[in-house]
Amino acid sequence: MTKKERAAYVDRELDRLYPDPPIPLDHKDPYTLLVAVLLSAQCTDIRVNKTTPELFALADNPQAMIKPSVDKIRSIIRPCGLAPRKSQAIHDLSCILINEYDGTVPEDMEALEALPGVGHKTASVVMSQAFGHPAFPVDTHIHRLAQRWGLSSGKNVSQTEKDLKALFPKERWNPLHLQIIYYGREHCTARGCDGTVCGICSALYPKRRRAVVTKKA
C-alpha cells in the first residue's frame, strides 16, 4: 500500500469502529474542558474524570475559581500529578480570562496558547472539541500509531501533526483524532501491540515481522 492508501484504509476502518466518538473528558462548557485538558497532561482521562467533579463543585467558572487558594485547588487535583504547577496555572489563567476576556474562554488558537499551562495540544483540543474548529491534537497514542501505520516518521508530535493534516481531509480531523485515541487505547496499546499484532497494523503491513520502535515524542 502507498501512504495515501494506508491513510484511506485507516480512515474507513476507524469510522466503522467508532462512528460517533465521544469526547473522553467530562465537561459542560469551554472553561471546564480547558481545565480538564490541562489536568490530563501526564495523567489518564479516567483519573481526570474522577477528580474534576470535586474541583468543579468548588468552582466551575473563572470567577469562582479565583476565590479558593491555590493550595486548596492543589489539594483537590493532587491525584492528577504535577499539582503545584497545574493548580497555579488554573488560578492564573482564570485571572487572565476575567481580566482580558470577560470571563470567557477565547475562541482563538494564539490566545489559548498564551494562557498559563496551555500548550499547543491543549489549545487544539479546546478549539476542536469546544468550538468545533478543525484541529488535529496529537498525543502519545496518535504519535505512536501514526508511526506504526506508516503515516508519519516524525520525531516529535509537531511533525506528526503536520503529516496527518496533510494526509486527511480537514473535515475528518476532529473525529479522526478521537477515533485514533480510542483505537490506541483499546487495540494498539503501547505494550499490547508492537506494530504487528492489532487488526489495522496487520492489515496495513501483513508481511511485517519486526516491531516498530516509536520515535520519542
List, by residue number, the catalytic residues. 121, 139
Q: In the 8-state DSSP scheme, what is residue 131? A: T
Residue 25: closest CA among 41, 39, 45: 45
CA–CA dist 5, 167 (Å, integer): 10
Q: Tell me, what DSSP letter sits at residue 142? A: H
The DSSP secondary structure of 77-111, one letter per residue, reads: HGGGS-HHHHHHHHHHHHHHHHHHHTTS--S-HHH
Look at residues 31, 67, 75, 24 and name the one whose alpha carbon lies nearest to residue 49: 24
CA separation for the pair 159, 110 (Å, rounded): 19
Q: Which of 63, 59, 85 is nearest to 74 (CA)?
A: 85
Specify whether the CB–CB gap between 151 and 138 falls below 8 A.
no
